[in-house]
Structure 1
Amino acid sequence: MLTPSLSPFVIEVHQLQGGPAHQDLFNDLHHGWPPGVNWIYGEEGCGKTTLLRLLAGDLSLFSGEIRRPSGGVFWVNLQTPEFDEATVQECLDKLSPLYPGWDKSLLESLTDELSMRAHLNKRLNMLSTGSRRKVGLLAALACGADVTLLDQPFVSLDTASIRIIKSFLNEASDHPSRAWLVADYEVPSDIPLASVLGL
C-alpha cells in the first residue's frame, strides 16, 4: 500500500491488476477519486462490482497499489446467505463499531425516512429484496467513513426511497474530504458528480 501523501484524491489506484476467480478484468488501471460523489458506470459484467471490492480489500489484487484513507473504506454486501439469520438491528450493531464516524442520529433519521423501523427486529431472510437492500444503505449512509462504496443503490427500491438516496447524494456532492463511489449502469443527470469513470 502506498504511504499517504498530499493528493487531490481521497482514494486512488496505481497499476491495478485484478479480478474475481483469476479473471484479469483490470490491467494497469490508474485512477483517483476526489471528495464528493463519483460515478463508475458500464454494462453488466464490465467489472463495476469487482472494482469496488478491490478498492475495499474484499478481493486481493494481482498486482498494483491502492492508496486508502486513514478514515476507512465502507463496503458491505448483505445479499449473501451468511446474513440471512441476522436481524436488521443485529447487522447495524455489528457494523457500527467498525466505523468511528458512525452517525447515530443520521441512522435514526434515515431509518424513519426509508420506512425501516418496523423491520428492525426481522431477520434479513424475511425482508423483501428492496428492504434488504435498504439495510445496507442505512449502514453506508451513516458509516462516516472517508470512502463509501455503493453498488447499484437504487435497484429494487421504491420511488420515494430512490428520491431520499438521491437527496443524500446531492448533499454529499460538495463534501470537502469524504468520497462516495457509486457503481451503476448509467450516469445520473440529477446528481452533481466529482468524477465519472466508464468501464
Structure 2
Amino acid sequence: MDKASPVLQVDGMCFGYPQRALFTDWCLSVRSGATLLQGGDSSGKTTLLRLLAGAVAAQQGHWVLRGVRVAPQAQAYRHQVFWQDPRSDALHALSARAWWAELAAQHAAWDAAALAAHVQGWGLQPHLDKALHQLSAGSQRKVLMAAALASGAALTLIDEPVAGLDQPSVRYLCQALAASAAQPGRAIVVAHYGTLPGVPWTEVVALPEPAE
C-alpha cells in the first residue's frame, strides 16, 4: 500500500447523544503510522474509537478500511481491527495467556515474538496466568496494549494508554508504539490528552473541547 494513501477513510460521520452532538459531517483520513486523537475529558475520544472499531453505529456517514466498508461488510471490517475497551469487565475472568491465545487465532498477522518482547518490556511474566480482575489497573492496561501491538491489525485502536502506568512503563510504551507504527500498512490510533515523547506521530487530530 502507498504510504500516502489512507489506511482508513471516514466521510460524513454524524453521531451524538440525546443531550449532545459529538460529530457532525466529520471526515478523517488515517494513514499508516501513529495517529493521535488529542482531547480532554468528554471530548469524545473513546466514542470515536468505538465508532472507528465498528462497535458503535453512527447515525450517518461511511468509512472504508483497506477497501472494506464498515457497512455492509461489518464482519470483514472488524477482522482488520483491534479494539478492546479498557473500561469493560468482559475479560476479567480470563488470564492474559488464555486471552492472547484466543487473539492469536483471530488475527492473521499476530506476532508472537513482539508479544514476548512486550511481556518482558512491561514485566508481565509473573501475571500471565492470573485472572485479569486480580491485576492492578496498570497491569491490566499493559495486558491490553501488549495484545494490541502484537495483533498486527491494520487498524489498531488504543485508549488512554498511560493510565495506571509508572514512568518506566510509559517509556517502554513510547518505544513500542514507535516500533509498531513503523510497520508498513499499519495504522495505530491512540486517544490521549497529550503527546507522548519519542512517538513519531503521522498526524495529531485535536478534538474540540465540549461546550459549557
User: Under a length normalisation based on structure 2, what TM-score does the superposition of the two structures give?
Assistant: 0.85
- Say whether the 8 Å CA contact 2:177–2:199 is kept in structure 1: yes
**Number of residue-to-residue matches in the alignment:** 194
1:125 is matched with: 133
Q: CA deviation at 1:9?
A: 0.5
Q: CA deviation at 1:190?
A: 2.9
CA deviation profile, 1:63-106 (whole Å, cap 9, x unmatched): 10011126711101244222221111122122222210000111
2:36 is matched with: 39
Counterpart residue type for residue 43 of structure 2: C
Counterpart residue type for residue 24 of structure 1: A
Structure 1 consecutive aligned stretches of length 4 or more whose deviation exceeds 6 Å: none
1:179 is matched with: 187
**Corresponding residue SS for 2:201:** coil
Q: CA deviation at 1:44?
A: 0.4
**Corresponding residue SS for 1:150:** strand
Q: CA deviation at 1:159?
A: 1.2
Counterpart residue type for residue 135 of structure 1: V
The aligned runs of 1:1-199 (5 Å cut-off) are: 8-19=5-16, 24-69=21-66, 72-199=80-207
Q: Distance in 2 between matches of 1:80 and 1:170?
A: 26
Counterpart residue type for residue 179 of structure 2: E
2:76 is matched with: none
In terms of mean alpha carbon deviation, does 163-172 or 99-108 score higher?
163-172
Cα 1:174–1:105 change in 2 (3 A) is closer
How many percent of aligned residue pairs carry the same amino acid? 32
- Say whether the 8 Å CA contact 2:86–2:159 is kept in structure 1: no
Q: Which runs of 5+ in 2 are unaligned?
A: 69-78, 208-212
- Say whether the 8 Å CA contact 1:10–1:68 is kept in structure 2: yes
Q: Which runs of 5+ in 1 are unaligned?
A: 1-5
Counterpart residue type for residue 158 of structure 1: D
Cα 1:194–1:103 change in 2 (3 A) is same
RMSD (Å) for aligned C-alpha atoms = 2.0
Q: CA deviation at 1:172?
A: 3.5
Q: Distance in 2 between matches of 1:26 and 1:102?
A: 33
